Structure 1
Amino acid sequence: MAAAAPTLEIEADLHRQGARFVIGCDEVGRGAIAGPVGVGMAVVSEIMPPIPERLRDSKLLSEKRRDELEPLTRDWALFSAVGLATADEVDRLGISACLGLAGKRALTSLHEAGVAIHDSVILLDGHFDWLSPALVNPLRVQTRTKADRDCASVSAASIVAKVHRDRIMIAEDTRIPGYGWSGNKGYGSAAHYEAIDRLGPSELHRHTWLKTQLEIAL
């Protein structure tokens, strides 16, 4: 059975509560062993064009379909942005702090583009608010489980973030070949671990994560 299409019902309720904008927010790359962690954001207002046909949570779409939808999604959202935190930052700061750092960088991009973020509500996928601790000035953040599935702004953010990060990993596969990043996108497939055993870890790997995986194996 096909997944139900996301709507703007939750966003509309937030607008009725006084939000000028709703900023859908989703992360990508949290569980990867190589490459950056990313946070995508997509901004919607009370009056929006029709939601792009076949818009879904990025995890429910093929890579080809995500690539097709990404420009349509960017055109549909009032604004969109992706913030990143590097593998080195993940090693030094930890994944939760880096999610917040990447989210803060995405918000900075939106602010520089003219989004009134202090008049907005950030609709964050999941049940844990990893964004607020990274912000100097508090913003209104509302968490919602399965928001990437149900809320069009968050589905849009998930597609923008996923495609952006995938393209980084594909480019890195050319620069640092041998790990299969065009296919695995930095996630820990069996072939990826075999490549690490053969070639050693690269500068793009999260070295503390590899150490943890080795400890688990032992």
Structure 2
Amino acid sequence: MLKIETELWDKGYKYIACIDEVGRGCLAGSVVTCAIVMPQGVIIEGVNDSKKLTAKKRDILFELIKDSAVAIGVGEMDCRTVDEINIKNATKLAMKQAIENLRDKDGSKIIPDFVLTDAEKLDIKIPQLNIIHGDATCHGIAAASIIAKVTRDRQMDEMDKIFPQYRFAKNKGYGTKDHVQALLEYGPIEIHRKTFLKKILNIQEQMSFI
């Protein structure tokens, strides 16, 4: 999974920022992104697309990646931003924010000289490569996906404590059957993406006339 990064290192690039997002398709919560710069030649066994890993495995890898990374930056756009500018634009904005937030272990800002993204093309001046299914083929993007996923999952676990009726600890804000049922029963709350709920709310509106 280091083929792409190795080619860039061989060309003289030093700080290669790999970026991925989590939460694009959720009904509730933020879209979270991570930009990560990994040490040259380092590969962490088990790192893969975060969706293919168990929660326990992700938690273990989360700590290993944090310990190994040269720099990490996290970006986040909340549900209001998603509703205002749409999910695609919010994701790109969060990715750019993650690049801006790149810091090394001492807290010093790191400016990447190349960027690898999972498919999304960003409006940045830094050279970039946008890789389809990058989280399955690029070690750095897979590592970024794990950091983003664990970060967001922990946010939703906290939301579950405040709004237990939506079972966010289980569904993480995705449109599962239990989540949709809770929406029909209790209605949306402030962390729901209103533009994502039109069909569900229309169903509720129709049901009220039955």
Same fold per superposition (TM over 0.5): yes
Q: Determine which of 29, 36, 42 is the counterpart of 2:36.
A: 42
Runs of 4+ in 1 over 6 A off after TM superposition: none
The aligned residue for residue 116 of structure 2 is 123
Tell me how far apart the structure 2 counterparts of residues 19 and 213 of structure 1 sit (CA, whole Å): 48
Q: How does 1:43-192 map to 2 (within 5 A)?
A: 43-45=37-39, 47-49=40-42, 51-110=43-102, 113-117=108-112, 120-126=113-119, 128-129=120-121, 131-132=122-123, 135=124, 138-192=125-179
Letter in 2 for 1:145: I
Tell me how far apart the structure 2 counterparts of residues 87 and 154 of structure 1 sit (CA, whole Å): 24
Q: Determine which of 26, 50, 53 is the counterpart of 1:32.
A: 26
Q: Determine which of 187, 194, 198 is the counterpart of 1:200.
A: 187
Tell me how far apart the structure 2 counterparts of residues 53 and 194 of structure 1 sit (CA, whole Å): 39
Percent identical = 37
Q: Determine which of 13, 21, 24 is the counterpart of 2:7.
A: 13
Tell me how far apart the structure 2 counterparts of residues 216 and 44 of structure 1 sit (CA, whole Å): 47
Offset of residue 116 of structure 1: 2.4
Tell me how far apart the structure 1 counterparts of residues 108 and 203 of structure 2 sit (CA, whole Å): 45
Deviates further, 26-35 or 143-152: 143-152
Tell me how far apart the structure 1 counterparts of residues 200 and 134 of structure 2 sit (CA, whole Å): 30
SS where residue 38 of structure 1 aligns?
strand
SS where residue 201 of structure 1 aligns?
coil
Tell me how far apart the structure 1 counterparts of residues 201 and 12 of structure 2 sit (CA, whole Å): 50
The aligned residue for residue 4 of structure 1 is none
Offset of residue 216 of structure 1: 8.6
Tell me how far apart the structure 2 counterparts of residues 71 and 96 of structure 1 sit (CA, whole Å): 29
Gaps of 5+ in 2: none
Cα deviation digits, residues 187-211 of structure 1 (max 9, x gap): 0001101001111101010011101
Aligned residues: 202
Offset of residue 214 of structure 1: 4.4
Letter in 1 for 2:12: G
Structure 1 length normalisation: TM-score?
0.86
Say what the alpha-carbon RMSD is for the aligned residues.
Answer: 1.9
Gaps of 5+ in 1: 1-6
Structure 2 length normalisation: TM-score?
0.89
Cα deviation digits, residues 130-188 of structure 1 (max 9, x gap): x22xx4xx221211112111111111000000000000000011022210100000000
